[in-house]
Amino acid sequence: MIFDSRPKTYAFVGPSGTGKSYRAQMVANERDIKYIIDDGLFINENEVVSGISAKKAPTKIETVKKALFDNPKAAEEMKKAIRKIKPESILILGTSDNMIQKIIKNLGLPELTETIYITEVSTEEEIEEAKRTRQVEGKHVIPVPTFEIKKDFSGYILDPLQIFKSKGKDSKPYITEKSIIRPTFSYLGNYKISDTVFRQIIEHLAAKTGAIYKVGRARTDNVVGGMNIYIELTIVYGYNVIESLKDFKKKVKKEIENLTAMNVENVDVVAKDLYMPDKN
């Protein structure tokens, strides 16, 4: 037995592009399921808990492998996340019953409690519209907010999609947000952001940080998986240099990822000078 407390497993099945991810939270909420496995991601309501989305794989074959947790290392990382959280139930999304069974086997999950099919929760018209959106516009939906997945989709354009929902006739509707991703090679060619933009973000953060007097050199380099950033700073005398640099490094990484949807692999921050405030 892999898990101390074995979660109930549910399946949500439908062909690719029929709107499963769009309706996943609705299906989960109706059965009081807090956790979803979708295309390589382990999701708790509106937050990514573990995994790397299969939707960012470079080929269809790699996409399928990631979604199935065919890689032993990826499967083990997901098992660890499930063991740590000990969810009462999990909803697994898949394009077929066979796909669901392979995910269950690779993750060592128990047999299914229930299988829900897309045709049970969507009309033919809704399914056809979802297919059109996928085929014509190239849009893919992930059931988490844009904020949660920005850094996992460096080089992609992300649009938030707000949806009004209700848990029942007597319940107040609430808003949930999902993310629509669009590979930039399908729409805009190469997706680039000017170095000036990055510098402005860095200088804006520095202006709000008491320990920093000014920003010197700032350079960005594209690398596999995202970018590296190098920054030289003048630190105000009297502040702890090590702690100030560490804190600013975290702020830069977080702010640039949030504002640009680009993945920041590494930030190097160097104190090149010291500023002595005029006491007069």
The whole-model pTM stands at 0.52
The owner of tokens 């590494």 is 266
pLDDT at 135: 55
Report pLDDT for 255: 83
Query: So what's the pLDDT on residue 225?
Result: 62
Q: What is the pLDDT of residue 159?
A: 46
Task: Yes or no: say if 24 and 52 are a contact pair by the CB < 8 Å rule.
Answer: no
Mean pLDDT by 10 residues, the chain (280 residues): 70 85 82 90 80 67 82 91 92 91 94 93 82 57 45 45 45 45 39 71 91 92 79 94 94 79 83 84
Residue 235 is predicted with a pLDDT of: 95
Radius of gyration of the chain (CA): 22
Q: What is the pLDDT of residue 56?
A: 59
Distance CA 212, CA 115 (A): 57
Contacts of 35 (CB under 8 A, 6+ apart): 7, 28, 42, 43, 44, 49, 85, 87, 89, 90, 91
Question: CA 174, 176, 181 angle in degrees (round to 5)?
Answer: 160
Q: What pLDDT is recorded for position 66?
A: 83
Domain borders along the chain are: 8-187, 195-275
Tell me which fold the domain 195-275 belongs to.
Alpha-Beta Plaits (3.30.70)
